[in-house]
């Protein structure tokens, strides 16, 4: 099962803006709601991949990975 994240979105004038609650720095702005949701999805995926790579690089070698549920 894929983890789910919460997008907070709103229309502001002619723009749609949104944030992912659980991941600081993941926010987007688009002309349509559909474009915004897709941009948030892509940005979230990129942020997770970046954070994963950064954590693994910081750990070096001989590390353990575990799943933690909240």
Q: 17-38, pLDDT tens digit by residue?
A: 999 999 999 999 999 999 999 9
* CA dist., res. 45 & res. 56, Å (int): 17
* CA dist., res. 70 & res. 39, Å (int): 26
Q: What is the pLDDT of residues 38-68, one digit of tens each?
A: 999 999 999 999 999 999 999 999 999 999 9
Residue 16 pLDDT exceeds 90? yes
Predicted TM-score of the model (pTM): 0.89
Q: What is the pLDDT of residue 50?
A: 98
Q: Are 42 and 28 in contact (CB under 8 A)?
A: no
With a CB cutoff of 8 Å and minimum separation 6, the contacts of 35 are: 16
Q: What is the pLDDT of residue 2?
A: 81
């Amino acid at each position: 099962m894929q983890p789910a994240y919460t997008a907070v979105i709103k229309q502001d004038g002619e723009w749609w803006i949104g944030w992912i609650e659980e991941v600081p720095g993941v926010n987007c702005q688009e002309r349509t709601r559909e474009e915004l949701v897709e941009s948030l999805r892509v940005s979230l995926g990129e942020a997770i991949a970046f954070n994963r790579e950064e954590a693994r690089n910081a750990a070096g070698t001989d590390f353990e990975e575990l799943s933690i549920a909240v």
